[in-house]
Structure 1
């Protein structure tokens, strides 16, 4: 090979490496963190969901995929994380179940859904590996931006509400129950921060949690109240200090006050057909208990009181997993959450794990009586399912890397 050609190839290779490093750094430091902020609170400010999806593709999905291809060696730790491994197993089983599903969607379309979620896992992990502060900063920035938005929503709701009104919110939000996932997520986040930050910062965080809690109450949704109670229980056990005792007493006092002042919050609308929906779903599951009806299978649940309306969700994430992927899929799903929660408990000396554990516990509580779709494009349900799991996986990967470096 001529010397000039050899030198030219070396220079080109060096230049490509420089460009690759610059893109990787830019993506991890700016694009992905921006994407995470948009993912967390974008629905409250963006005019339509299609734009929300497009921004996710541009700031998280595409840059993360390219970064993984460019830095395949440095991303090996991502694929060894137990939470991500179980997610891959669950996704593989869900995609396999398409073979016996009556879905009318093309397989290529269904394949994109777990791929989007995988890119979320990978993006959080890459941020944690490259610059772990970006992950915390992005989440905190979204929480701070949500405060004025929530205050505006509450002010607008109070000034225009009717007797039976329920807060929906701004932007692309269009359903009070789904809106409660967003407000509840940030309520749990601020509540966890109030328990783990130093005293001077803990009080402002507690006030922020109260603001988000007021928005949750204004949505009229009761599932977030149960989820918040579960979050408080996690924080009390994980932290167990003077603040935990105060949280326990404050939670009991808040519940008593709610029952005495506004009991309709808990008793209105009855059980919203939940028991009937669950019984009907379980009766269908009994027909194909082990492998389910398949990913994206048709589901229509008709109730005696509403014979002409078919519910397309069982209003329970666990039952949704059971219906679509059977007992096998549910076991993997539960294992994924159990592994994530175990990581939080194992590393509870790190306050970030306590915070992310609170988000996961809140999501588990919120999913008890809401949801049903197992794999979807970005929407409100991600805040109570995939985002907490992705944050925990990223923290676990970062912690393992730090331990390996010290040893």
Structure 2
């Protein structure tokens, strides 16, 4: 069933809705309802027909798939001891994550070109969302450009919105046209999310984008990679000189204190943690009111799920990075690797909502893992073709 045209059309629409609805959906409720209609329900219906495919994926890469399965099971089990108000609701959110991740092998196995097309479309749509955000936030109410931008839709958080725009930039860099006119237009689109990051004043997003762009010569061969790395480094230097007061005004934003206090909190509940989506405050000496999360994806995971949860999530992330590095010569590998570089930086500084409802943080934690699953699915298909070809060759020889 999952290979039928109508099911693949729905799944493709669901993936595009996830990528673009984050900005263009009128309300968060409509965004969530669209995901239920276009992703959760179709994937739930199609999964049984893909059980052999999923089994082959698990056998092909047992380390990555095993770590991911254990991580999801541990998170679901933690509802037993979670201090969250409605533990059963958290189990539903784990199910949402599972359905989201399953969509990638279902799409990749039937229409392998679709995921790349969806990311290219997302780059265009998010760039236009950045342009529309400029008008809605600065032009219509006549605000000063020194005010941190709030994007449209669910990109209304300047920091998380900037990270999503950073992902749009690195996706766009993988699809640069060959002709001169196309490159000029593409460059104009690239400038829009970069300006959004500047106006969002997110130093973490700027650093993440700079790390990704400057490392491109290491994993994307060609003079174009060196040109992009040099241009981004030059823009970073110019940006620091021009916007130095904005860059330095907030100092380190309490991050060292938050990190140290987070380690103490982990030490109080090292093995089980507080449970999935448990509410907590990171109280520091300089900010006694407390922060709602640890501002670090991995310490947040340890606070909620204990050291076992931290190790499982770190294992999933490591094995996904290995997959990306091995496939860096392919377009899909470069898309995954660039996404993981931006997401890894984001997890160090800001993103800390792992198990919440689908929102901007999902672009930074679950989207890279879904792309890694798609690459594993691609490898399974290549191996299957080779095995069938060898079998046919042996039959002909006999």
TM-score over 0.5 (shorter chain): yes
Q: Contact conserved, 1:147 with 1:208, CA < 8 A, in 2? A: yes
Q: Contact conserved, 2:295 with 2:352, CA < 8 A, in 1? A: yes
2:5 counterpart of 1:40: no
Query: Deviations along 1:174-219, whole A, 9 cap, x unmatched?
Result: 321221122122112113434xx65756665444322211111111
TM-score by length of structure 1 reads 0.87
2:120 match: secondary structure = helix
Residue 167 (structure 1) aligned to one of 114, 129, 149: 149
2:371 match: secondary structure = helix
Q: Contact conserved, 2:210 with 2:236, CA < 8 A, in 1? A: no
Q: Contact conserved, 1:34 with 1:138, CA < 8 A, in 2? A: no
Name the counterpart of 1:277: 258
Return the alpha-carbon distance in structure 1 between the equivalents of residues 326 and 188 of structure 2.
Answer: 29
Following TM superposition, by how much is the alpha carbon of 1:339 offset from its aligned partner in structure 2, in angstroms? 1.0
Q: Contact conserved, 1:187 with 1:209, CA < 8 A, in 2? A: yes
Q: Which residues in structure 2 correspond to 1:331-342 (within 5 Å)?
A: 331-342=311-322
Residue 94 (structure 1) aligned to one of 61, 64, 75: 75
Q: Contact conserved, 2:258 with 2:284, CA < 8 A, in 1? A: yes
What residue ranges of structure 1 are gaps of 5+ in the alignment? 1-19
Following TM superposition, by how much is the alpha carbon of 1:365 offset from its aligned partner in structure 2, in angstroms? 0.7
2:155 match: secondary structure = coil
1:73 match: secondary structure = helix
Residues 1:297 and 1:155: Cα distance change in structure 2 (over 3 Å): closer
Name the counterpart of 1:347: 327
Residue 304 (structure 1) aligned to one of 282, 285, 300: 285
Following TM superposition, by how much is the alpha carbon of 1:385 offset from its aligned partner in structure 2, in angstroms? 1.0
Name the counterpart of 1:60: 39
Q: Which residues in structure 2 correspond to 1:213-228 (within 5 Å)?
A: 213-228=194-209
Residues 1:21 and 1:392: Cα distance change in structure 2 (over 3 Å): closer
Residues 1:87 and 1:234: Cα distance change in structure 2 (over 3 Å): farther
Following TM superposition, by how much is the alpha carbon of 1:265 offset from its aligned partner in structure 2, in angstroms? 3.5
Residues 1:21 and 1:294: Cα distance change in structure 2 (over 3 Å): closer
Instruction: Name the stretch that deviates more: 173-182 or 387-396.
Output: 173-182
Return the alpha-carbon distance in structure 1 between the equivalents of residues 201 and 192 of structure 2.
Answer: 15
Residue 323 (structure 1) aligned to one of 303, 307, 310: 303
Query: Deviations along 1:155-191, whole A, 9 cap, x unmatched?
Result: 4444323254111111343321221122122112113
Residues 1:350 and 1:172: Cα distance change in structure 2 (over 3 Å): closer
Return the alpha-carbon distance in structure 2 between the equivalents of residues 142 and 294 of structure 1.
Answer: 34
Name the counterpart of 1:181: 163
Residues 1:216 and 1:190: Cα distance change in structure 2 (over 3 Å): same
Query: Deviations along 1:43-102, whole A, 9 cap, x unmatched?
Result: 211121111111111101110010012443344334444434322111112222333332
Name the counterpart of 1:366: 346
Return the alpha-carbon distance in structure 2 between the equivalents of residues 322 and 88 of structure 1.
Answer: 17
2:290 match: secondary structure = strand
Return the alpha-carbon distance in structure 2 between the equivalents of residues 351 and 172 of structure 1.
Answer: 28
Residue 369 (structure 2) aligned to one of 383, 389, 400: 389
Residue 100 (structure 2) aligned to one of 110, 120, 125: 120
Name the counterpart of 1:249: 230
Following TM superposition, by how much is the alpha carbon of 1:346 offset from its aligned partner in structure 2, in angstroms? 1.0
TM-score by length of structure 2 reads 0.89
Return the alpha-carbon distance in structure 2 between the equivalents of residues 241 and 370 of structure 1.
Answer: 33
Return the alpha-carbon distance in structure 1 between the equivalents of residues 211 and 323 of structure 2.
Answer: 18
Return the alpha-carbon distance in structure 1 between the equivalents of residues 201 and 310 of structure 2.
Answer: 30
Return the alpha-carbon distance in structure 1 between the equivalents of residues 53 and 145 of structure 2.
Answer: 57
Instruction: Name the stretch that deviates more: 295-304 or 353-362.
Output: 295-304
Return the alpha-carbon distance in structure 2 between the equivalents of residues 318 and 34 of structure 1.
Answer: 32
Following TM superposition, by how much is the alpha carbon of 1:143 offset from its aligned partner in structure 2, in angstroms? 1.9
Q: Contact conserved, 2:352 with 2:361, CA < 8 A, in 1? A: no
Following TM superposition, by how much is the alpha carbon of 1:321 offset from its aligned partner in structure 2, in angstroms? 1.0
